[in-house]
Structure 1
């Protein structure tokens, strides 16, 4: 009879980050990142030994969610990265690069091939924990459910038991503001010049431009820089219009 491996309870409320995921056995040793292949998720979720599975589409927020859910469950000791690679984002390649090389001080994934491979919500300590807790299995561009299940069975047979450290919880906040909301400038208030100074207007514009840059860097893939340029151009145009209106009302 095989020796039963030690298991622990994952963090309260696990999985701690929601998304297009399916939970199997919380004490299973395998997590599966199915990249762009959403159609294989259901079959894999029902496989014995799988703790969690879901698509992972972006090389920033998507990777952050994977890591947050893995390190908050010490029972997970393997991460299979499979399914069709995400064009432009190169999410699988970026996740593999993070596992192999870690991150830079500016939160950029070292040697990542993705368009915007920044994990802004993860510290080096969090990334180090992830790299120590799991073994990454590279099955990028494999969609054969039979082959993936065979690998899962192999890993389950070699389950080393729970990682010998408590669950680590990291908060991943996703910017939900729409770009069009960020671009709103309170033009009505400009009709009251006594209450609205040029300095306040410029500060408001600067803040909004920063929000636009952050939003696009987190949610955009291929063509993001062109879209960012258009957004910044629109924001600056609105700002110039606001200044002209301000001087008109002053006159």
Structure 2
């Protein structure tokens, strides 16, 4: 079984996660539907269980846009990670669990929206398309949404470590070794920090551009009038 070193600077994105074994085949993502400072002890424990069971990374996820972008950046920079174990209660507003499952299944459309996602702003504006496609090729998502048993997380992580295909729920899990291509190294561009304000269609984009041009003309007119005075 071939293992590879992660990219220099791995993991590139900061976040609420713990780092474990860099050569582990699995990362654990615990959905967080509460405010960060109100994280329940059982969710914090689940994150610890993930890394103590052998996960490469184990942390929480709140948003269906920048949060997912950070996960993608960190995972594609480590080719040893071949599974993303997704657990914890689904967020009723952001629907991040559904967004990740939709991303794995469908990818992005031309507007960088996760196809089929029910979340309000499932846009990945801050990472290149090749990162998204690598993520979809490199990892399989293990769906444990709305589950939070430490025993189940341990069992799932251990199954990912096995050399031979091992049944876990509806999955056959084992460690296939590192993804055969070099790690991708990069950070978020932070070009868009509020995806909810981005245009949803070309018509909206055109209207926004017209409004921006109008405001620019108004500012120039006001400045010219001020100089004339």
Q: Which TM-score applies when normalising by structure 1?
A: 0.68
Q: Which structure has greater strand proportion?
A: 2
- Deviation at residue 173 of structure 1 after TM alignment: 3.1
Task: Report Cα offsets for 1:183-216 as digits up to 9, x if no partner.
Answer: xxxxxxxxxxxxxxxxxxxxxxxxxxxxxxx543
Cα RMSD (Å): 2.6
1:170 maps to: 186
Which consecutive unaligned segments of at least 5 residues does structure 1 have? 176-213, 221-235
Deviation larger for 68-77 or 115-124 = 115-124
2:213 aligned with 1:217: no
Change (3 A) 1:75 1:245: closer
Q: How does 1:45-194 map to 2 (within 5 A)?
A: 45-48=51-54, 50-157=55-162, 158-174=174-190
Distance in 2, matches of 1:11 and 1:67, equals 14
Distance in 1, matches of 2:176 and 2:49, equals 25
1:209 maps to: none
* 2:18 equivalent among 22, 37, 42: 22
Higher Cα Rg: structure 1 or 2? 1
Change (3 A) 1:218 1:24: farther
- Deviation at residue 247 of structure 1 after TM alignment: 6.1
Distance in 1, matches of 2:156 and 2:197, equals 32
Distance in 2, matches of 1:134 and 1:249, equals 60
Higher relative contact order (CA 8 A, sep 6+): 2
Distance in 2, matches of 1:105 and 1:245, equals 39
1:35 maps to: 31
Change (3 A) 1:55 1:219: farther
1:44 maps to: 50
- Deviation at residue 124 of structure 1 after TM alignment: 3.0
Q: Is the 8 A contact 1:61 1:218 kept in 2?
A: no
Deviation larger for 151-160 or 22-31 = 151-160
Change (3 A) 1:219 1:119: same
Distance in 1, matches of 2:23 and 2:148, equals 25
Q: How many residues align?
A: 192
Report SS of the residue matched to 1:55.
strand
Report SS of the residue matched to 1:103.
coil
2:210 maps to: none
- Deviation at residue 80 of structure 1 after TM alignment: 0.7
Distance in 2, matches of 1:130 and 1:33, equals 14
